[in-house]
Each structure stands twice: as C-alpha cells, then as structure tokens.
Chains A and B, each alone.
Chain A
Amino acid sequence: MRRFQISLLLALVVLVAVVAGTGGGANAASGSSVTISNESGTTWTCGFNPYNGSVLGLSFGTVYEELVYVNALQSAKATPWLASAYKWSNGNKTLTFTIRKGVRWSDGTPFTAADVVFSFDLLKKHPALDLNADWSVLKSVAQKGSQVVFNFKTSAVPYFYYIAGQTPIVPKHIWASVGNPVTYNDPHPIGTGPYTMSKCSPQVITYQKNASYWQKGLPKIDTVYYPSFTSNDPANQELADDTAQWGSQFIPNIKGYYLSKSPDHHIWFPPVANVSIFINLTNPQLALPVRQAMAYAIDRSRVSQIGEYGYEPPANQTGIVTPTYKSWLPASLKGQYAYNPAKAKAILTKAGYKMSGGVFKSPSGKSLSFSIINIGGYSDWVASVQVIQQELKAVGIEITPQNLSGTTYDADLYAGKFQLAYGAETGGPAPYYELRQLLFSKNSAPIGQTASSNWERFSSKQVDSWINAYGATTSAATQHSLVTKLAGVMTSQVPAIPVTEEVDWYQYSTKSITGWPTPSNPFAQPAAYSTPDIGVTLLHLRPKG
C-alpha cells in the first residue's frame, strides 16, 4: 500500500519535471526585435481601428501615420510626415497641406490626397470617431490636385496639433467599403507606417517591418513584440530581466529593482502636464485669500519626494511645466508662491479670517474645512494628498480626502460635484494647451453638466479673448506674451494649484538596442503609449553592433 502512495507522488513529480524540461526550446525569431512592456491593464482585442480611443495606441504611429509630426517635448516642433509641406493663409483660417509623393499603403496602392480628404470626411460623418473634436473648428476639407485645403470657422492655429499631428490617415480604397466605421474592428490594418501588424492574439501583438516604407532604409528593427499586461508586477519583471527593452509604467524603488540590475538600464521621466488641485470656484467658501493661502502652504518638493518618490518633479503656480517648457516661463513669475506657511496664515488673517481651535474661520463664521476627491487606485496620488493634508492642517485649513473609483471620480469631476479635486489635464505640445484646458470658459459647463476640462468652472471674458488671440497668430513673440498673460491669471486668481508634474513613464535598455530618446535628444515623447510618437521612436532604434 505504502509503495503505491509513494509511486503515485513520484509519478506526479516526474510528470511535472518532464513538462518543465521540454518547453525550454521556445525559439526566438530571427533578426532584431524589441519588446515593449507597458501595463495596458487589458488583454488585446486584436482590433486596430485608429479612431477607437481604446486601441489607437496599437496602430497609430506604427501602422497608421499623421500628416505632420508635432513633438511635445520640443515646444511643438513640426516635422513634415505624410504631408511634405503646409502653409497657413487667409488670416490663419485656411491651412493647405502638400501631400508627399511616393508613399504607398502596405498593400501596394499609392497614397494620395484623396485618402486624406476621405479620412476627415469620415470623422465629419461619424462624430463618434472624431476623438479630438477636429470638426468643432473645421468648416470644410477639400482636395486640390496633390494638395488638401482645410478651411476653419475661426482662426485655429493651435488645432494644427490635433489635425495634422493627432489624426491618423486611413486608406480610402479599404475604408470606403466598411459598413459602420464606428464598430469596425480593423483586424488587418493597412497603413503607410513603418510596421505592419503580422500576428495578434489576446496576449501579444507582433509587428513586422514594412519593407517598402517611404523613409528608405528604415526601420532598422525587424520585429516589435507588444505583449499585454494586466498588472504591473509581471510587466516590471520583464524589464528587470531584459526580456523587454522598452518600458512605460511606474516601477516602485526603481533604483534597486531596475537600474541596479544592469548598467544598460536607463530611465527618463520627462514632465508633460501638471497634477493639480482643482478648486471649485462656484463654492463661496473657496475665496481668493483661501486659494492663495493654500498655494503658499503646500511644500511641493516634499509632496514630490514623499508622494511620488521624486519621480514626478514639483510644479509651479504658473501652470507652465518645467523643464519641458522652461523657455515659456516668464522671469517675472518665476518662484511665485514658493513654500511659505507663515505667509499663508498672514494672508488669511489680513482678509479677516480668525484662527480658533487650530482651524481658520471665515468672517461669516464658517470653518475652512473641505473635502478633496481623488482616485483611490492611484497610490501615488493618495500619498501626495496625505502630505498636502498635513501641510494645510499646519496653516489651519482642513481637508478630508475622498478616495473614489476612477469612474465615480470622473463623473463627479466633470459634473462639478466636488469642493477640491486632485487631478491632471492632458496638456499638449506647448504650455498654451493646458492653460486653455484650465481657463477657457468654453471648456466649462454649469454645475451638474459635463465640463470637458475647465472643471473648476473659471470664467473670464478677458481671458477668453487672450485664448482666442493665441489661436489667431503664428507669431512666436505674440504667443509668448499671451502665455505670460495666462500664467499671470494662474498666479493672481489661483483657479487651480499645480502641485507636481505628470511625466511620461519611460525605461529603456541599451543592451542590444540603441537610438533611444534621451534628455539631450528628445526627438519624441518616449513612453510607448504616446501616439504617434511610438512610431517616431521605433524609426530611431537600431540593433547594437
């Protein structure tokens, strides 16, 4: 009897060992390859519709391309892409693109101006595809030989970024026969880009290089693997042991876990937007002295160190992200609202607020006690708000964090159902974009209705006119002076308090591949989820040696 039991267990152990042993020969593909490790939080659907917000990162930049590449890290520096040239005219209400010659779709059909007109008509006909609301400013798009002419309702210079830089162009000869482009999966995308999608499963997408790509001799990397990761830990592990070379997510204790593993491991976190406290301006308790006091009371570098492990740098009150956009930061506003708790108390006292029991009371007798909504799943933001809570308490302002689910948080934020909110705007390729998101009254809405980005409900005719004036000029000097005025609103009105700066998460290994974006050569936003920058980065990569 006993022999039987032991042999049963033995058989099991042997079986396990045999299976474990035989699988070792998973052969790697020949040629050079790069593997991306970006925690997507989802498995792949193997849909590649570039107008579907949830999968556009898997085809835009790699398979589909844009008219002009606009680099957010170099103050919107424009590189002609599918358009070989462009020109503003008619008081910046008309934009004309000259379409590049000699470009072919990956099925061999030549790419023409008709494809561009078709793509924009598609967005007009199906607003569900128009992710950047291009048609909120466009009047018409028409072909003129090898040129495409865009007419705008008003001067819309900043929309160049969305229309030329953020709208993928699809082939007319394929998409014209698609019944419903909104629910179209696009399982076998045909694009002009440097890669074609060769294989897809819920676990991994494989891209092969497009041998007839219009930039001759590129790309240098043959195969791109893009595995799906539903959680952070396995994604980080693949980076640490060099199974994946290109990372785009948060890694705790990055020095010990990643950098120390190999001298070839590098990181760079370029800031692109602010993480701010949005202040609900319709709440009379949150008057200007209170907002100013809060801005003085927060030690932003301490929040950055404790809440963000120092990865996300401290922000400044102007809302201009530095060092990314430091050339825009006006000297007169530099260093405003530096940490000064004594000044915070002095402002409140001067405005008639009285301290009682450690908390300031307004002249009408109400305690300065507020709730702040935050996303409970973002552990870094939760830690940051705890630091802010202590610092505000030290100057007699109480805040109570409410850590919500992402969905509830967004619903409350959009509808204005909050007193304070910790959150971030998306920003854009220059400081103007974030300031516009924060301050333009058209981005606002009455409480209870959805505001697109002006969640604090700031409204000023003067500020709106400055924002519109920026849209009407291509002069760098005028744009700089207008941004200085908008930054001045941020410091004088304090509608929001930028605390830390959101970064592009980016880790890379130079063990087998070189040509990565670096702080000294920021040719593209380096995170793999940045579109269409992912394509630009892939075009720069090359095998080592």
Chain B
Amino acid sequence: MRFVARRLAFFLVTLWAAVTTNFLIPRLMPGNPAIAMMARYRGRINPAALHSLEIAFGVDNHQSLVSAYFSYLGNILRGRFGTSLTFFPDAVSHEVLQALPWTLALVGVTTILAFVLGTLIGLLGAWRRGGFLDSMLPPIFVITSAFPYFWLALISIWLFAIKLHWLPANGGYSIQTNEAWTWAFISDALRHSIMPALTILITSIGGWILTMRNNTISVLSEDYVRMARAKGLSPWRIMWTYAGRNAILPNLTGFAMSLGFVVSGAILVEFVFNYPGVGWMFLQAVENQDYALMQALFLMIIIAVLTAILVADAATALLDPRTRDQQ
C-alpha cells in the first residue's frame, strides 16, 4: 500500500511541475500569434489584415501572468483548452481529437510491434547464441536502426511509390474514398499506413533487440537458470519463465515511456508521408505560437508518459517480487 501511495504522490507532484512549466515556457517566446499568421501567408494577404487578426486573436487585451495562470489551471481541470490560433476559430480539443486516432493507430501499433518483435528476436537470439537467427537479425536491425529516418522514408517512397507503384506515396487515405467505417476505407487507410509503419519499425526495432539480447545473456549465466537446467526443466519453459521474465524487466520502463510518447506522434514520419497525425500538429503549434494548442498537446504527453510510468512501476512490482519486498 505504501508503495502505491508513494508512487501516486510522486505522480501528482511531477504533474503539477510539468503543468506549470507548460504554462510558462510558451509565454517566454518572442512575437505574437497575429504576426506569426501573417508570416505564414508570405504576403498573400493584405498587410492591413494584421490589425484585424490582432483583434480577432485578442492579442491586445493584456492579462497579468498570475491571473492567466489561475484561469489556465481552472480551464484545464474543466477540460477546456480554448481556441486554436493555427486552426482558427476551431477548438483545440476538436483538432486534437481529429488527429489523435491516426497517430494512435500508426505510432501506437508500430511501437508495440517493435517492442514485441524486438524482444522476441532478442530472446531467441540470446537463447541460441551464434545460431542462424542470432547471426542474421540483430546485426541487420542494428544497422537499420542507425539509418536516418527521413532518408529511409524518402528512399522507400522513391522505390515503392514512384518506381514500383505498389504503395501510395502520401496521406492517410485516398482523396476519392469516403471517410467511414467501411472495408473500402479501412483497407485503403491500411494500405497508406504500410510504408510509414514499416519505416518506423525498421528504424526502431534494433534497440529493443540489442537490449533484450544482452539482458538475456547475462540472465542465462545466473545460478537459478543453471539450477533450472539441472532440475531437467524443458528448455522452452526455462527460456520463457526463467530467462525471459527476468530479462524483460529493465526494458519495461523504457517501453512504458515510449508508449507514453506515442501521443506526441512522430514528427518526421508525419511530415515526410503527409500523414494527418499529432506530431505534425505539434510543429505547427510551435511555429505559429499557438499557446492553446501547444499546451493541450504537452499536457496530453505529460499525462500519458506519467501514467505509463505509473503502470510500468506497478507491472514491475507484479513481475518481480524483490521490488515489493524492499518497500
């Protein structure tokens, strides 16, 4: 019980600190959103529009920092994030909810896949050290992990979309299809997600393989594994419940954190593939000094990461009795 309470208290303090930083940092940036919007139009709208934009955005009504802070806290508690300036006059929550499913589906699924596949390959590789699998996959994926993401993405667009015409080059779905829960739409969206998903997978799987393999190798030399072998347990059971269960522990927190960061999207992926997710929205929010959007996105990431860590702590406690005993 004390363990859980301590973790929860830590969670709340971190959350408050993060929320406060989240409030302060955007306000330390120079310029104002009306000028940012003018800049985005590269002279395509009349300079006289600057004045009308400043009125529309409420740039000229100044509020003191302290009172802004408290109204900010109040609004967060009520789930109000205000109006986005980038997508003016749309509400921030509406814009984020539109982009979030795309990111969750693409980055979420690939993150889990990368972890599961990487862990499996790492475990199997370490179990049969020097075997076919161990001498092929880990080196290959370690090399691919070092590829710059955008380079790999551009190469695969060039190869699969432009030269071979196998897969679409950009977007989340074809512009002629209707956005609805039909098989035509879902298969079209899946087809559009293959290239972004595979490029993320290829560049992120190597890390999991390497750490899992190293963990397993060190666990395999432990006395309890030798003991299990001596008892004559089946290799299958030793691999999963003795070696695997212990070797995965250090990776859990890392996995939880990367799950938390899923909601921040993948800026480069979404940029290169013109994918309608949160990562690109993030970039826009920063470029356009869209405080409201920025704060909502940061808050979402903070909460997701902190929650994921909390869950990972609980999972570690479940899997590893030693952590419980020490409390």
Contact = CB atoms under 8 A, between A and B. Distances in A.
Interface of A: 1-2, 5, 8, 16, 19-20, 22-29, 35, 41-43, 45, 47, 49, 52-54, 56-57, 127-133, 136, 162, 166, 182-185, 199, 201-204, 206, 225, 227-231, 233-235, 237-238, 241, 273, 375, 378, 405-411, 414, 424-426, 437, 443, 450, 452-453, 502, 529
A407 B31 contact: yes
A-B residue pairs, 5 tightest by C-beta: A406-B39, A23-B191, A234-B170, A133-B48, A128-B56
B35 A407 contact: yes
Nearest to B235: A1
A1 to B, nearest CB: 8
A170 to B, nearest CB: 16
Given A127-B51, A131-B48, A406-B40, A225 B175 contact: yes
A498 to B, nearest CB: 14
Contacts of A452: 47-48, 50-51
A131 B284 contact: no
Interface in B63-84: 83
Contact of B49 (A53, A203, A378, A424): A53
Contacts of A408: 30-31
Nearest to A35: B175
Contacts of A202: 98-99, 276
A229 B169 CA distance: 12
Which of B89, B178, B188 has the most chain A CB atoms closer than 10 A to its own CB? B89
Nearest to B131: A2
A406 B36 contact: yes
B43 A19 contact: no
B194 A16 contact: yes
Contacts of B44: 57, 426, 529
Given A237-B162, A237-B169, A26 B184 contact: yes
Contacts of A424: 42-43
B15 interface: no
Of the four ranges (under 10, 10 to 19, 20 to 34, 35 or more), the interface on chain B belongs to: 35 or more
Contacts of B172: 203
Contacts of A235: 274
B55 A53 contact: no
Given A53-B41, A414-B35, A452-B50, A23 B188 contact: yes
A231 B176 contact: no
Contact of B36 (A49, A166, A407): A407
Given A42-B284, A185-B89, A127 B35 contact: no
A410 B99 contact: no
Interface in B227-258: none
Given A53-B45, A231-B272, A26 B176 contact: yes
Nearest to A205: B175
Contacts of A437: 47
A16 B198 CA distance: 10
A230 B176 contact: no
Nearest to A22: B187
B133 A5 contact: yes
B179 A201 contact: yes
Contact of B176 (A2, A29, A47): A29
Nearest to A200: B179
A426 B43 contact: yes
Contacts of A204: 175
A19 B42 CA distance: 41
Given A127-B51, A131-B52, A45 B37 contact: no
B141 to A, nearest CB: 13
Nearest to B86: A42
Given A203-B171, A231-B274, A45 B50 contact: no
A19 B89 contact: no
B89 A183 contact: yes
Nearest to B46: A132
Interface in B53-112: 53, 55-56, 83, 86-90, 95, 98-99
8 contacts: A35-B175, A52-B88, A185-B89, A203-B175, A203-B276, A206-B175, A231-B272, A409-B39
Which of A230, A241, A378, A425 has the most chain B CB atoms closer than 10 A to its own CB? A230
A132 B167 contact: no
Contact of B55 (A8, A127, A229): A127
Contact of A410 (B35, B49, B87, B90): B35
B104 to A, nearest CB: 15
Contacts of A450: 50
A426 B187 contact: no
A26 B43 contact: no
A409 B49 CA distance: 17
B149 interface: no
B177 interface: yes
A63 B157 CA distance: 35
Contacts of A131: 45-46, 48-49, 52
A378 B40 CA distance: 11
A136 B50 CA distance: 14
Contacts of B45: 53, 56, 131, 426
A449 B41 CA distance: 21
B40 A41 contact: yes
Contact of A241 (B38, B162, B190, B276): B162
Given A237-B161, A405-B287, 11 more contacts: A22-B187, A26-B184, A136-B48, A184-B89, A230-B280, A234-B171, A235-B274, A410-B35, A410-B36, A411-B32, A426-B46
A443 to B, nearest CB: 8
Given A20-B191, A128-B53, A131-B52, A453 B47 contact: yes
B166 interface: yes
Contacts of A166: 46
Interface in B1-52: 30-32, 35-52
